[in-house]
A and B are shown apart, each in its own frame.
Chain A
Amino acid sequence: MNEEFKVKLQAYLDGELPVREAAEVARTLDEDAGARALFGELRTTRQWLRGNKPEHALGESREFYWSGIEREIRRLEAAEAVESRPAAGWAALLRQWATPLAGAAVVALAIVIFSVPNSIEEADENRYLAEVENNTEAMSAISFRAQSENMFVVWISERYEESPMHASSTDLRER
């Protein structure tokens, strides 16, 4: 008796074999005592189990066991009710548009922060690099910006003397 036949024997017992194969197994059972013994064992085991499902009782009281179930049912139903509740007029509109608008605002802000200041700096760089002179009758002023040092210098001098000028300087730090 090979393993395949043994499994077939069981299928015969369970009524799961096609008619032709069932007839073959029945013939073998008539002729083979070993097959009959195995068939008997399988049948007996099936009988024990079918009539004797194990029984176990819960150790908890009816109320305690139910309270756990009821609490969870109520919690799930409350959560479901919140999810399915339609939002009121403006709130629904806000919920509908809030996310796309917020997204657009963030993108716009990012563009301003990252591109606009750079372009201003790039555009103004040459202007600040140059010295600017302003000569009036009473005084003269020279301003200078050092981009790399992040420094803006204004040199003011009085004109009433030819001699070395009395000067004051202002160091304005930007940013």
Chain B
Amino acid sequence: MSLQPDRPASEDEKLVKKAQGGDMGAFEELVARHRDKLYARALSMMRNEDDARDLSQEAWIKGWQRLRQFQGGSTFLTWMTRIVINLCLDQMRKQKRQRTESIEGIEEESGGIERQMPVVEVNPTEGLERGELRKRIDRALGQLSFEHRTALILHEFEELEYKEIAKRMECSIGTVMSRLFYARRKMAALMAGYNREEPG
């Protein structure tokens, strides 16, 4: 299955206007254009294909219901991505409420093993082609806790500020800084580890 090509935002704007007027065909076109990106974001966070598909579909339904609230302050894709991220966060909160906080989780919050990790000084991604690099990044993201992964996704992919991340993750700015720091350190160590397993 091939990925959809990037489309100009101006084409989206026309479709959004039509959809805001009740044109479901235009909305269907928007879904077709961006469904893979939304699904990819949900999958990056949830690490489960079924959850990612269901949550991305739910995001489109919410998008249709709230379409009149979209004022064009960001691109339509950014707006939809924020919806799916919020749904993923809600879903994880529900799942967390159903299980007891593990010792591992508490350790990860405060850094755990990442505190003792040596600094990775050589760039382990040098010479890797982009496709391979993306695969390794995705694999490493999958090895982080949900909190660390989400902090990284919101900061690096969505380019949100600490304050905004704290609001979305319902925690303090200090917690965001700590999660982001240890997530980055663990990513660096994992990427270096993959390089030793299968040199680029």
Contacts and interface: CB of A to CB of B under 8 A. Distances in A.
A118 B31 CA distance: 71
Interface stretch (B7-15, B90-98, B100-108, B153-161): B153-161
A156 B53 CA distance: 90
Given A11-B177, A53-B157, A58-B39, A66 B31 contact: yes
B198 interface: no
B61 A46 contact: no
Contact of B40 (A3, A56, A70): A56
A38 interface: yes
A69 interface: yes
Given A3-B115, A55-B36, A57-B1, A68 B184 contact: no
A121 to B, nearest CB: 57
Interface string A19-56: 00000000000000010011011101110111011111
Interface residues of A, number: 37
Interface in B41-88: 43-44, 49, 52-53, 56-57, 60-61, 64-65
B53 A45 contact: no
Contact of A65 (B35, B177, B185): B35
Contacts of B181: 6-7, 10, 42
B191 interface: yes
Given A7-B178, A16-B161, A69-B60, A58 B1 contact: yes
A59 B1 CA distance: 6
| Size class of the contact patch on chain B | 35 or more
B184 A69 contact: no
A73 B64 contact: yes
User: Helix, strand, loop or mixed for chain A's interface?
Assistant: helix
B16 interface: no
Contacts, number: 122
Contacts of B61: 69, 72-73, 76
B197 interface: no
B3 A57 contact: yes
Interface of B: 1-3, 24, 28, 31-32, 35-36, 39-40, 43-44, 49, 52-53, 56-57, 60-61, 64-65, 111, 115, 119-121, 123, 125, 130, 133-135, 137-138, 141, 152, 155-157, 159, 161-162, 177-178, 180-181, 184-185, 187-188, 191
Given A16-B161, A37-B121, A44-B120, 19 more contacts: A6-B181, A10-B177, A16-B162, A37-B119, A44-B188, A45-B187, A48-B133, A48-B137, A48-B191, A49-B152, A53-B40, A54-B40, A54-B138, A57-B2, A58-B36, A65-B31, A65-B35, A72-B57, A73-B65
8 closest residue pairs by CB, A with B: A54-B138, A49-B156, A56-B40, A57-B1, A37-B119, A45-B184, A69-B60, A52-B134
